[in-house]
């Protein structure tokens, strides 16, 4: 509707001698009695040499479009009031016809977007600290698909680096093969933590670790076999967590995958005369107050930058991406600025298509979680505890519920994911399990319960009435202020998806879902559909509820969260 209003305004303004695109000027008034949309005329005053209130009065004289009941000039604004019956028919018929495809867009034209997300480190526990990249990246993948791109989900596993020298050293000194086989991640993590404790007392351990990593880089059989074993058991453990969250990937190519691709990058830099020696290491000097990008250490070892350059070229060649997204924490901002700067020096025209989607930290007791020091909360344990608490809540509220275990799984896991996704990604998230599982407020269970309650309403209506409602071509003449707020909220879904895409911000979808759930719950509390005697009114209300169900379910799906029909 905003677009239609803008088109009509542009037509009227052109008749007044002004060519201007004005859709972004249109606002949503702070109070409902001021209309559903407002157009400020102040920016036109200088061009038209008229007072804003005069411009507003001229615009309303000839303003008439389907779906708008009236346009009123108030001061320097034109306030637009929706024709609720007509507008409702237009929006609801579209939702009911399109179903889950409501809100689909063609912005992407089928082009590919690669998304580097999750990326846990081999032989380390999958902690709550990895949740953010995983769920934000997965939600963004769903959103880019919704607007017409083809997402390529890449789990860039941390399966290379000096930490493997440390782990091999620790395992050979203190490891027990049978214990590792019984509980791989737990035991390997203990060894990793113990190594750092001992290395603070004995610096020689760090040199021994560097020695073992050099052997691994040189293809030493013992080192390679241990590395493959650590990698295999870690991926098995990670898969259990991903399965719980119903998240999958198109590629698990991690850091090790690029071992044979980095020489080509170094050759490109050398041929372009970009490499310089600095204290025995090789660097690329950068402008814009950026420090030099370290490409190769003094001992010839490569770094993250070398690997990410190789990955960027590989992904461009392999996928021909329109955008390449990196869902990585705020602290890596400098790294990605350097990465893009080096690519530009190599004349990679697609360098600006690389996007660092940064996010804040996951905090516990207001402190960052640290794998190295063992101060870590395991994501799998959190998910299991959340499911357990959801099951207890269901047992209290609805003990006769069918499939209680599967519903508890959907609610418990969804609660953890929603708690993260409702927060603007650049802000820190505070880990509070009890807060996540509340059935009131801005939580996943609150939205899921609203969806289930709406589904219950539809189920309790006689089958013939449901069929009549689905087939009805009604003008929604019975709709008033209560319905108006919900219909207006439903009409904004497509715009919210566009904003979430352009700003790489899934929290917009989460906030929208909460708002829609709140509107529905208020409507549910004040409208008794099941006892409505007028069949036409009942059908109109039922169509509204069905539209809410479709939109709430799709909102949750975009976040990667299930929408149970019974709770």
Categorize the per-residue pLDDT at 328 as very low, low, confident or very high, splitting at 50, 70 and 90: very high
Strand segments (E) across 201-316: 275-278, 281-284, 293-296
Q: What is the pLDDT of residue 481?
A: 78
Kindly state whether residue 396 falls inside one of the protein's structural domains: yes
- Read off the tokens for 94: 């579209």
* Partner residues linked to 77 by β-bridges: 40, 74
CATH of the domain at 404: 1.10.730.10
Task: Output 364 or 307, whichever has higher pLDDT.
Answer: 307
Cα→Cα distances 131→128, 327, 384, Å: 5, 11, 14
Residues above pLDDT 90, as percent of the chain: 74
Q: What is the pLDDT of residue 332?
A: 94
Q: Going by DSSP bridges, is the β-strand pair 275-278/150-154 parallel, antiparallel, or unpaired? A: unpaired
Q: What is the pLDDT of residue 420?
A: 95
Categorize the per-residue pLDDT at 297 as very low, low, confident or very high, splitting at 50, 70 and 90: confident
Q: What is the pLDDT of residue 109?
A: 97
Q: What are phi and psi of 406, to 5 degrees?
A: -70, -35
Q: What is the pLDDT of residue 465?
A: 57
Say how far apart CA 295 and CA 131 lie, in whole Å: 30
Among 205, 227, 246, residue at a domain's last position: 246
Residue range 250-275, pLDDT digits in tens? 999 999 999 999 999 999 999 999 99
Kindly state whether residue 96 falls inside one of the protein's structural domains: no
For residues 519-531, average pLDDT: 89
Q: Give the global pTM.
A: 0.90
Q: What is the pLDDT of residue 519?
A: 95
Q: How many Cβ atoms are within 10 Å of 258's Cβ, its own excluded? A: 22
Do 167 and 77 sit in the same domain of this protein? no
Do 197 and 75 sit in the same domain of this protein? no
Q: What are phi and psi of 243, to 5 degrees?
A: -65, -40
Question: Which residue has tokens 């609203």?
Answer: 450
Q: How many Cβ atoms are within 10 Å of 195's Cβ, its own excluded? A: 25
Which residues, 6 or more positions from 440, have their beta carbon under 8 angstroms from its beta carbon? 446
Task: Output 101 or 530, whichever has higher pLDDT.
Answer: 101
Do 406 and 508 sit in the same domain of this protein? yes
Which secondary structure element, helix H or strand E, spans residue 467, and what is its range?
helix 463-471
Mean pLDDT is highest, among 124-133, 224-233, 366-375, 532-541, for: 224-233
Do 455 and 553 sit in the same domain of this protein? yes
Residue range 381-408, pLDDT digits in tens? 899 999 999 999 999 989 999 999 999 9
Q: In what order do the strands lie in the sheet with 275-278?
A: 275-278, 281-284, 293-296
Kindly state whether residue 301 falls inside one of the protein's structural domains: no
The answer to whether residue 365 scores a pLDDT higher than 90 is: no
Q: What is the number of structural domains in the chain?
A: 3
Question: Which residue has tokens 């029909």?
Answer: 565
Task: Yes or no: say if 347 and 274 are a contact pair by the CB < 8 Å rule.
Answer: no
* Partner residues linked to 459 by β-bridges: none
Q: What is the pLDDT of residue 99?
A: 96
CATH of the domain at 48: 3.30.1360.70
Task: Yes or no: say if 453 and 545 are a contact pair by the CB < 8 Å rule.
Answer: no
Decide: helix, strand or coil at residue 307. helix
Do 66 and 165 sit in the same domain of this protein? no
Do 514 and 390 sit in the same domain of this protein? yes
Q: Going by DSSP bridges, is the β-strand pair 293-296/281-284 parallel, antiparallel, or unpaired? A: antiparallel
Residue range 141-188, pLDDT digits in tens? 999 999 999 999 999 999 998 889 999 999 999 999 999 888 888 899
Residues above pLDDT 70, as percent of the chain: 95
* Partner residues linked to 127 by β-bridges: 378
- Between vectors from CA 161 to CA 159 and to CA 164, what angle results, nearest 5°? 75
The answer to whether residue 20 scores a pLDDT higher than 80 is: yes
Do 518 and 387 sit in the same domain of this protein? yes
CA 209 vs. chain centroid, Å, equals 38
Say how far apart CA 505 and CA 136 lie, in whole Å: 8
Q: What is the pLDDT of residue 391?
A: 94
The answer to whether residue 249 scores a pLDDT higher than 70 is: yes
- Between vectors from CA 109 to CA 105 and to CA 113, what angle results, nearest 5°? 95
Which residues, 6 or more positions from 10, have their beta carbon under 8 angstroms from its beta carbon? 19, 20, 21, 22
Q: Please, what is the average pLDDT of the chain?
A: 91
Kindly state whether residue 149 falls inside one of the protein's structural domains: no
The answer to whether residue 374 scores a pLDDT higher than 90 is: no
Among 43, 58, 82, residue at a domain's last position: 82
Which residue in 307, 379, 312 sits closest to 343, CA to CA?
312
Say how far apart CA 382 and CA 130 lie, in whole Å: 12
Q: What is the pLDDT of residue 560?
A: 98
What's 126-160 look like in SS3?
CEHHHHHHHHHHHHHHHHHHHCCCEEEEECCCECC
Q: In what order do the strands lie in the sheet with 77-82?
A: 37-40, 77-82, 68-74
Q: What is the pLDDT of residue 472?
A: 52
- Read off the tokens for 330: 């705020």
* Domain residue limits at 209: 161-246
What is residue 438's DSSP assignment?
Answer: -
Residue range 93-115, pLDDT digits in tens? 999 999 999 999 999 999 999 99
Among 82, 101, 132, residue at a domain's last position: 82
Kindly state whether residue 359 falls inside one of the protein's structural domains: no
Do 410 and 549 sit in the same domain of this protein? yes
Do 412 and 528 sit in the same domain of this protein? yes
Do 503 and 392 sit in the same domain of this protein? yes
Do 554 and 461 sit in the same domain of this protein? yes
Q: What is the pLDDT of residue 47?
A: 92
Kindly state whether residue 19 falls inside one of the protein's structural domains: yes
Which residue in 22, 98, 20, 8 sits closest to 61, CA to CA?
8
Residue range 41-69, pLDDT digits in tens? 999 999 999 999 999 999 999 899 988 98
The answer to whether residue 536 scores a pLDDT higher than 90 is: no
For residues 121-134, average pLDDT: 88
Residue range 432-491, pLDDT digits in tens? 878 888 888 899 999 999 999 999 999 887 655 555 555 555 678 778 778 888 999 999
Do 549 and 407 sit in the same domain of this protein? yes
Categorize the per-residue pLDDT at 300 as very low, low, confident or very high, splitting at 50, 70 and 90: low
- Read off the tokens for 12: 């009227």
Kindly state whether residue 427 falls inside one of the protein's structural domains: yes
Torsion of CA 273, 278, 284, 287, to 10 degrees: -110
Q: What is the pLDDT of residue 104?
A: 97
Residue range 206-235, pLDDT digits in tens? 999 999 998 998 999 999 999 999 999 899
Cα→Cα distances 4→27, 52, 98, 234, 382, Å: 14, 22, 20, 54, 47
- Read off the tokens for 127: 């902690």
Kindly state whether residue 407 falls inside one of the protein's structural domains: yes
């Amino acid at each position: 509707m905003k677009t239609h209003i803008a088109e009509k305004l542009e037509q009227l303004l052109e008749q007044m001698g002004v060519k201007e695109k004005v859709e972004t000027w249109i606002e949503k008034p702070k109070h409902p009695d001021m209309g559903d949309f407002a157009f400020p005329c102040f920016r036109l005053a200088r061009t038209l040499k008229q007072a804003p209130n005069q411009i507003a009065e001229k615009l309303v004289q000839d303003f008439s479009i389907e779906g708008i009941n009236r346009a009123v000039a108030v001061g320097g604004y034109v306030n637009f009031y929706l024709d609720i019956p007509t507008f409702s028919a237009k929006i609801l018929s579209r939702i009911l016809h399109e179903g889950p495809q409501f809100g689909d867009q063609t912005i992407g034209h089928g082009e590919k977007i690669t998304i580097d997300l999750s990326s846990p480190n081999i032989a380390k526990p999958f902690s709550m600290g990895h949740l953010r990249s995983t769920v934000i990246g997965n939600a963004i993948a769903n959103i880019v698909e919704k607007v017409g791109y083809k997402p390529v989900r890449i789990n860039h596993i941390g399966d290379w680096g000096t930490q493997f020298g440390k782990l091999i050293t620790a395992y050979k000194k203190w490891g027990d093969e049978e214990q590792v086989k019984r509980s791989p991640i737990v035991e390997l993590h203990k060894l990793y933590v113990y190594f750092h404790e001992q290395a603070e007392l004995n610096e020689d351990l760090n040199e021994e670790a560097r020695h073992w990593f050099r052997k691994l880089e040189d293809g030493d059989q013992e080192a390679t076999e241990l590395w493959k074993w650590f990698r295999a058991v870690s991926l098995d453990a990670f898969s259990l967590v991903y399965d719980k969250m119903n998240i999958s990937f198109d590629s698990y190519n991690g850091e090790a995958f690029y071992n044979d691709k980095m020489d080509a990058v170094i050759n490109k830099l050398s041929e372009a005369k970009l490499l310089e020696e600095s204290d025995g290491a090789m660097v690329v000097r950068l402008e814009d107050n950026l420090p030099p990008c370290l490409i190769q250490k003094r001992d010839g070892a490569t770094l993250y930058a070398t690997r990410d350059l190789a990955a960027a070229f590989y992904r461009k060649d392999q996928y021909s991406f329109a955008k390449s997204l990196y869902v990585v924490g705020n602290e890596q901002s400098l790294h990605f600025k350097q990465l893009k700067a080096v690519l530009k020096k190599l004349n990679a025209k697609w360098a600006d298509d690389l996007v660092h989607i940064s996010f804040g930290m996951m905090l516990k007791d207001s402190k960052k979680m640290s794998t190295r020091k063992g101060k870590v909360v395991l994501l799998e344990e959190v998910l299991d505890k959340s499911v357990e608490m959801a099951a207890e809540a269901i047992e209290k509220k609805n003990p006769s519920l069918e499939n209680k275990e599967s519903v508890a799984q959907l609610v418990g896991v969804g609660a953890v994911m929603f708690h993260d996704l409702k927060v603007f990604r650049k802000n820190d998230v505070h880990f509070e399990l009890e807060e996540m599982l509340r059935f009131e407020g801005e939580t996943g269970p609150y939205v899921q319960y609203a969806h289930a309650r709406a589904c219950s309403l539809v189920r309790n209506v006689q089958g013939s009435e449901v069929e009549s409602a689905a087939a009805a071509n009604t003008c929604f003449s019975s709709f008033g202020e209560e319905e108006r707020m919900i219909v207006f909220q439903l009409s904004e879904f497509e715009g919210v998806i566009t904003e979430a895409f352009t700003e790489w911000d899934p929290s917009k979808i989460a906030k929208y879902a909460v708002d829609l759930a709140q509107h529905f719950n208020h409507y549910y509390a004040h409208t008794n559909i099941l006892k409505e005697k007028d069949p036409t009114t009942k059908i109109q209300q039922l169509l509204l509820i069905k539209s809410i169900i479709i939109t709430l379910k799709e909102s949750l799906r975009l976040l990667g969260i299930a929408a149970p029909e019974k709770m």
